[in-house]
Structure 1
Amino acid sequence: MYEAIFIPEWISAPSKDIINQPDLQVYVKDFGKNKGDLCLVAQVSDKIVSAVWVRIMNDYGHIDNETPSFAISLLKEYRNYGIGTELIKQMLMKLKLAGYK
C-alpha cells in the first residue's frame, strides 16, 4: 500500500509506518469482507509488483455508495512498462461485467 501513496518529488517520503494510520487503513482493513471489494495483481516470477484494488468506501475520492474507489500500487522499478495501465483496464472490465456504471 505504501507505493500507492502519491508523494510529490519535492517532499521527503514519509516512513512506511504511515500506512497504519486510520485514514489509510480504510483502503485495506477487512478487505474482501464487503460487497464490491475486488483486487487484481501483477506478478513477476514469485514477486507481486503491482496491485489495483477497488472498494466502496468513504475516502478522498468518494462519489456515492454505489461507485467503487480505485487504488493502485506499483513498485517503482516496474513503472512505465504498461503494467498499471493494463491492471486498470482489466479492473474496469471486471467492474463493468459486475454491473457497475
Structure 2
Amino acid sequence: MELLIRPIRPTELPLLEDFLYEALWQPDPAQRLPREVVRTPALRPYAEAFGSRAGDCCLVAEVGGEVVGAAWCRMIHGFGWIGEPIPELAVALYPSFRGRGFGTRLLRALLEELSGRGFRAVSLSVQRDNPAAKLYLRLGFRTVAEHDGEWVMRCDLGDRTGAE
C-alpha cells in the first residue's frame, strides 16, 4: 500500500470535519461522542473556513486514490495555544489506517513544510493517555503545560533532521 502525502485540494476541505472528529481521542468505542461535537464553539475554529487565514496549512495522506488522513495547522487560540505566532496543529487518520507509520510520515511532512514556511514552532494538545502522545514525543514535541490530564506540547522547528 503506497502512501502519497500532498497538499489538500480545495474540493477536499470538507474532509477536515471528518478528520477533526477522528482527532478527538475517544478511548471507549461504545461511548463515542456525536459527530456534531466538531461544530461546537470550542472545536469549530479548527476546520471552519480553512484556507482563509494566513498560516493555514494542510497535508493529506492518500492511499489508493483515497484521502485517509490529514495533518493541518492554523493560527487559533485552541486547546493547544501557546502564543503568537505559533500555529496549532491537528492530525488524524481513519482508524483502519492507523498503526502503519502513516501518521508519523504525515506529521513529519507537515513539520518540514511549516519549517520551510519560516515557522519557528508549532503546538498541539493531547490527552496524556492517548497513544498518539508517544508519537509526538518521538518527533520532538515537549510538554509545556498540563491541565486535567491534557498536555499542551510544543515542537521547535529549527532543524528537523534530528527528529525521529
* Bin of the TM-score, shorter chain as denominator length: over 0.9
TM score, norm. by length of structure 1: 0.93
Q: How far did 1:15 drift? A: 1.4
TM score, norm. by length of structure 2: 0.59
Distance 1:60 1:77 in 2: 26
Q: Name the structure where strand makes up a greater proportion of residues.
A: 2
After superposition, give the CA deviation of every residue in 1:54-90 in whole Å (9 maximum; x if it has no partner): 0110001101121110101110000011111111101
Residue identity opposite 2:101 in structure 1: G
Q: Higher relative CO (CA 8 A, sep ≥ 6), structure 1 or 2?
A: 1
Query: Are 1:90 and 2:109 an aligned pair?
Result: yes
Aligned sequence identity (%): 33
Q: How far did 1:9 drift? A: 3.0
Match of 1:6 among 13, 25, 30: 25
Match of 1:18 in 2: 37
TM superposition outliers: structure 1 runs of 4+ over 2 Å: 8-11
Distance 2:109 2:30 in 1: 32
RMSD: 1.4
Distance 2:111 2:84 in 1: 17
Match of 2:89 among 49, 70, 80: 70
Where in structure 1 are there 5+ consecutive unaligned residues?
Answer: none
Distance 1:49 1:70 in 2: 17
Where in structure 2 are there 5+ consecutive unaligned residues?
Answer: 1-19, 121-164
Match of 1:60 among 79, 84, 89: 79
What is the count of residue pairs matched by the alignment?
101
Match of 2:52 in 1: 33
Is the Cα–Cα contact under 8 Å of residues 57 and 65 in structure 1 kept in the other structure? no
